[in-house]
């Protein structure tokens, strides 16, 4: 479903502090999403691409997909504020992974957007988590989990309690975090081909959006948005005839 993406995209996947400093894209003003393609030749796909993410999930095709096959064990060691998002860094050697089409995709990191980037029938969720995976060929698969405001999420608290308030800073995760508890019990999902939602917007990314949301409290959402200082979601992009299967 996906094709190999380039070196620039893999650099974007790591979303290191260096990358955050080296780029001047943002979510507001002159560096906002509608201007990303003008900021660098490497970002042209953000405007020219025909399979961009996020999208509005509306019309779907029933392909009888099997529930997502997840193998998560060790949690993250560090949490990073890179100025664009809050990202939990996972050791790839720990082999936290998913299996898609018989291929193993190893978890690299997961991060958050508020409000959600993908929408369901035109509606945003309060927050969306992206778990970014890569297989041996360098192909990327992203698992997206929606969060609605409701009961507090204990696993998020383990990240939020050490969340760096200053951009380009990180902190050690002190309490053991079970990534499995950040995935809905019902592992049914929508699937489509898309892109990274941040520059360079490289395409060929397999998207798996979980159908069932989790919850976070109003206070947890407020802490995230206060730390980010602004919304950090890219607007939904044209579907251009792509099929969303479930």
The span from the CA of 217 to the CA of 25, in Å, is 30
Write out the two tokens for 32: 């906002």
Residue 124 lies in a domain: yes
Structural domain including 70 reads: 7-228
190 sits in which H/E element: strand 189-195
Q: What is the pLDDT of residues 45-92, one digit of tens each?
A: 999 999 999 999 999 999 999 999 999 998 999 999 999 999 999 987
For residue 244, tell me if it sits in a domain: no
pLDDT at 1: 44
Spatial distance between the Cα atoms of 53 and 63, rounded to a whole number of angstroms: 21
> The tokens 């929408």 sit on which residue?
119
Domain count, the chain: 1
Q: Which of 73, 82, 83, 84 is nearest to 107 (CA)?
A: 73
Instruction: Give the pLDDT score at 95.
Output: 83
- Does the residue 131 lie in any domain? yes
- Which residues, 6 or more positions from 154, have their beta carbon under 8 angstroms from its beta carbon? 181
Q: Is the pLDDT of residue 231 over 70?
A: yes
Cβ-based neighbour number of residue 220 at 10 Å = 20
With a CB cutoff of 8 Å and minimum separation 6, the contacts of 7 are: none
DSSP-derived secondary structure letter, 123: B
pLDDT at 93: 84
Measured from the Cβ of residue 186, the count of other Cβ atoms closer than 10 Å reads 11
Sign of CA pseudo-dihedral 44, 230, 7, 50: negative
**For residue 194, which of 209, 177, 214 has the smallest C-alpha distance?**
209
DSSP 101: T
Residue 236 resides in a domain: no
Name the H helices within 43-129.
45-48
Q: What is the pLDDT of residue 114?
A: 98
Question: Does a structural domain hold residue 127?
Answer: yes
Q: What is the pLDDT of residue 17?
A: 34
Higher pLDDT, 92 or 208: 208
Residue 123 maps to a domain: yes
* Cis before 54 (ω within 30): yes
Whether 211 is in a domain gets the answer yes
Taking residues 236-240, report their average pLDDT. 98
Side-chain half-sphere exposure of 104, counting CA atoms within 13 A: 8
The Cα 154–Cα 152 span in angstroms is: 6
Q: What is the pLDDT, as a whole number, of residue 23?
A: 52
Picking from 81, 64, 92, the residue whose alpha carbon sits closest to that of residue 166 is 81
- Convert the pLDDT of each residue in 4-43 to its tens digit: 344 344 444 443 333 333 458 999 999 999 999 999 999 9
pLDDT given for residue 74 in this prediction: 85
What does each C-alpha distance from 87 to 76, 78, 210 come to in angstroms? Answer: 10, 8, 19
Specify the CATH number for the domain of residue 25: 3.10.200.10
Identified catalytic residue from 24, 64, 71, 84: 84
245 occurs within a structural domain:
no
Digit-coded pLDDT (tens) for 114-166: 999 999 999 999 999 999 999 999 999 999 999 999 999 999 999 999 999 99
Helices (H), the chain: 7-14, 17-22, 36-39, 45-48, 154-160, 218-228
Verify whether residue 240 is a known catalytic residue.
no
């Amino acid at each position: 479903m996906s094709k190999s993406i380039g070196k620039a995209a893999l650099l974007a996947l790591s979303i290191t502090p260096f990358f955050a400093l080296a780029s001047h894209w943002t979510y507001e003003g002159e560096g906002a999403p509608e201007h990303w393609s003008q900021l660098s030749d490497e970002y042209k796909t953000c405007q020219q691409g025909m399979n961009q993410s996020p999208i509005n999930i509306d019309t779907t095709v029933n392909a009888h997909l099997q529930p997502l096959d997840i193998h998560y064990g060790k949690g993250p060691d560090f949490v990073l504020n890179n100025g664009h998002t809050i990202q939990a860094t996972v050791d790839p050697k720990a082999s936290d992974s998913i299996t898609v089409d018989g291929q193993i995709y190893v978890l690299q990191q997961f991060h958050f957007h508020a409000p959600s980037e993908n929408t369901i029938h035109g509606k945003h969720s309060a927050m969306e988590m992206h778990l970014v995976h890569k297989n041996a060929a360098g192909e990327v698969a992203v698992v997206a989990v929606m969060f609605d405001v409701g009961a507090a999420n204990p696993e998020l608290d383990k990240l939020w309690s050490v969340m760096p308030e200053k951009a380009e800073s990180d902190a050690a995760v002190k309490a053991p975090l079970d990534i499995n508890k950040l995935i809905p019990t019902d592992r049914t999902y929508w699937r489509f081909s898309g892109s990274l939602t941040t520059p360079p917007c490289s395409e060929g990314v397999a998207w798996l959006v979980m159908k069932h949301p989790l919850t976070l409290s109003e206070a947890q959402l407020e802490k995230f948005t206060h730390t980010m200082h602004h919304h950090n979601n890219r607007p939904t992009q044209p579907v251009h005839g792509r099929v969303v299967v479930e």
